[in-house]
């Protein structure tokens, strides 16, 4: 039995055990402790007062892996005291090793690094398992795992989010995992600058305490699924319901029945709907096609257009009336909307640069894509696989 085969077998077995018997932990307590430590570090190490960092929020959009990973490396190199990472998949490949090397460099400068690796993501690391790098002879991995300033937690929280926190002022969320394929797949990363975003994420939405009384017109809202709150589905349904003219969805996984039903209903109220899906066959292809078939059959005639993007589009994007965008880690499937840990951001018209960039990218995506000229037809095995979410 080859070593690579044994490694893959161990990965699958470990992921299964973590999925069945993993503990959720005490993320709320850890989050509050981390927030306290970030504040203390900011006061001790940053020349400007902590309060001055909260004045303005900035939203920036980074498209595809080359742009996103370059931005991450730059922010890691600028970190003053703390980096926090929540990751679903982290592969032992060129990108995975490069990120590890940059983090080691930051730790050498005195930056404390806290990494939470989701064990369920191990299922998808068969060809380059992250956890087994702990025993690799590679110098970077050895320094990464044994560095006194790098703390790694590996547990089954069922957390699908991919999030980075830089010091106490920058939060980045994305659908991209740390892996080589994201240099080729089409995806997005959103950068939020402002301490309220960091505080809200670390405390599972509990901070600031006055959040419940915050105005609903807040132009940037962090939307999360955590063990204590499930905000993704209500936010998605409310966003789609608010559409008056158009809905543009770009998704890799699109099959939630309630979402399909609501889109059908909005189409009968005159809303134009465009959906962009990956052309390349994927694990969810049959479920995607079944959902599209149901939507086309129930929607107002001519109101829905479907495009197949060449290759893999891995983004999770909803654009409503060209002025509201929702991006993050949540797919439009039931488990992602209701169960898994997810982090998304809802941005409205005030932050026009990010919206303008997204609209231009989506316009180019549609030009690249092939229109679906007829409803997809699934044979019995395709329908069976679709029922299994494949």
Segments making up each domain of the chain, as ranges = 3-202, 218-387
pLDDT at 152: 95
CA-CA-CA-CA dihedral for 60, 336, 25, 87, to nearest 10: -40
Domains 3-202 and 218-387 share a fold: yes
The predicted-structure confidence for 99-125, as pLDDT tens digits, reads as follows 999 999 999 999 999 999 999 888 888
Q: Does the pLDDT value for residue 36 go beyond 90?
A: no
DSSP three-state, residue 136: coil
Give the pLDDT band (50/70/90) at residue 126: confident
Residue 388: what are its φ and ψ, rounded to 5°? -90, 5
* pLDDT tens, residue by residue, 341-350: 999 999 998 7
- Which CATH architecture fits 3-202? 2-Layer Sandwich (3.30)
Q: At residue 277, what are phi and psi to the nearest 5 degrees?
A: -125, 160
281 burial (CB, 10 Å; 0-12 / 13-18 / 19+) is: exposed
The alpha-carbon radius of gyration of the chain (Å, integer) is 21
Task: Report the candidate in 161, 87, 130, 122 with the shortest Cα–Cα distance to residue 15.
Answer: 122
CATH superfamily of 218-387: Endonuclease Chain A (3.30.870.10)
Average of per-residue pLDDT across 68-95: 96
Residue % of the chain over a pLDDT of 90: 63
pLDDT (average), residues 349-369: 92
Three-state secondary-structure class, residue 248: strand
User: In sequence order, what are the beta bridge partners of 25?
Assistant: none
Q: Is the peptide bond before 208 cis (omega within 30 degrees of 0)?
A: yes
Q: What is the CB neighbour count within 10 angstroms for residue 214?
A: 11
Write the DSSP string, 96-135. Answer: HHHHHHHHHHHHHTT-EEEEEEEGGGGGG-TTS-SGGGGG
**For the chain, what is the mean pLDDT?**
85
> What is the average pLDDT across 6-16?
60
Please give the Cα distance from 303 to 318 (Å, whole number): 17
**Digit-coded pLDDT (tens) for 240-278:** 999 999 999 999 999 999 999 999 999 999 999 999 999
């Amino acid at each position: 039995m080859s070593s690579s085969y044994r490694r893959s077998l161990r990965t699958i077995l470990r992921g299964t055990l973590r999925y069945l018997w993993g503990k959720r932990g005490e993320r709320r307590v850890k989050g509050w402790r981390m927030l306290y430590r970030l504040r203390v570090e900011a006061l001790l190490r940053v020349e400007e007062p902590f309060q001055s960092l909260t004045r303005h929020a900035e939203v920036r959009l980074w498209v595809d892996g080359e742009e996103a990973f370059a931005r991450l490396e730059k922010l890691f190199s600028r970190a003053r005291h703390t980096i926090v990472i929540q990751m679903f998949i982290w592969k032992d490949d060129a990108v995975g090793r490069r990120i590890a090397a940059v983090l080691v460099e930051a730790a050498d400068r005195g930056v404390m690094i806290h990494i939470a690796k989701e064990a369920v993501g191990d299922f998808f690391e068969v060809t380059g398992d992250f956890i087994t790098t702990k025993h690799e002879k590679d110098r970077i991995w050895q320094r990464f795992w044994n560095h006194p300033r790098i703390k790694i937690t590996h547990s089954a929280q069922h957390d699908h989010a991919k999030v980075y926190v830089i010091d106490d002022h920058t939060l980045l969320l994305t659908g991209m995992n740390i892996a080589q394929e994201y240099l080729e797949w089409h995806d997005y990363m959103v950068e939020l600058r402002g301490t309220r975003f960091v505080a809200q994420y670390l405390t599972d939405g509990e901070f600031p305490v006055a959040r419940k009384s915050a105005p609903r017109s807040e132009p940037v809202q962090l939307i999360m699924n955590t063990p204590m709150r499930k905000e993704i589905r209500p936010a998605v349904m409310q966003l789609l319901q608010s559409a008056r003219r158009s809905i543009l969805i770009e998704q890799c996984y699109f099959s939630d029945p309630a979402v399909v039903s609501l889109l059908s209903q909005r189409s009968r109220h005159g809303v134009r709907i465009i959906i962009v899906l990956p052309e390349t066959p994927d694990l969810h292809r049959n479920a995607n096609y079944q959902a599209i078939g149901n939507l086309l059959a129930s929607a107002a005639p001519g109101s829905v257009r479907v495009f197949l993007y060449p290759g893999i589009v891995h983004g999770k994007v909803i654009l409503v009336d060209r002025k509201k965008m929702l991006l993050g880690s949540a797919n439009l499937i039931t488990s992602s909307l209701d169960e898994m840990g997810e982090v998304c951001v809802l941005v409205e018209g005030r932050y026009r640069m990010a919206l303008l960039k997204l609209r231009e990218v989506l316009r180019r995506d549609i030009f690249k894509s092939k229109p679906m000229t007829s409803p997809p037809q699934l044979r019995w095995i395709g329908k069976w696989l679709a029922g299994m979410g494949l």
